[in-house]
Amino acid sequence: MNKKFVMEHFGVDEETYLEALKMSPSAQGYILGSISEILLKRYLEDKGYEVIRIKEKPSGGYNAKNFEARGDFYIREKRKWNYDEWLVIESKGLKSNSEFRGSKLDSPKKVFNFIKSRIFNPKKNNKYIYDKSYKTYLNVKEKWGRNNPGEKFPEFRCNINFPGAETFYLKGLWENEQDLKKWVYLY
């Protein structure tokens, strides 16, 4: 740890800083999020991607962000893509407080199985998620209609290609399960 950095930014010694960090799950979460971004950026760059950080809070706030730039990084594969083709990547740390409490991802083995099942053996495909979302929508719409007769309920606008919160495009990040396992256990 850099003593000078801790003193300049927090005005305390390293021991006090670490004690405060241990007392603050919220601060730990922010740091884990930043670590996730750093590790993802390094990994993508090692795989031959160009990675550009998207400014977190542009002038004008979050709503000032271009709709297509709501994420953490622009990435593109240096060798293959057209100069103007970029993907927007949002990095989410796997170890949030809720995941810690539920012990879902508290070991490399659990992290490996969690990611593997979503990339190489997806149990829930987009159609399944879309259909489940539509069924939930219809139930909510019916209940709402009973309590609000004559009112118009919003249309169902879920996209079958990206139908829910757990929808992602991770193709090419890991070549196979062994490559994923090596990455999980390395970090």
pLDDT in tens, 102-120: 667 778 898 888 888 777 7
Residue 36 pLDDT more than 70? yes
pLDDT for position 68: 63
pLDDT for position 137: 93
What CA–CA distance (Å, rounded) separates 68 from 52? 14
Model pTM score: 0.51
Residue 97 pLDDT more than 50? no
What CA–CA distance (Å, rounded) separates 94 from 63? 26
- Mean pLDDT computed over every residue of the chain: 81
Residue 123 pLDDT more than 60? no
What's the pLDDT band for 160 if we cut at 50, 70, 90?
confident
Provide the H-helix boundaries in 47-125: 97-102, 108-119
49-75 tens-digit pLDDT: 899 888 876 666 655 556 566 788 888
More confident residue, 96 or 180: 180
Q: Crossing angle, helix 3-10 and helix 14-23, to 10 degrees?
A: 60
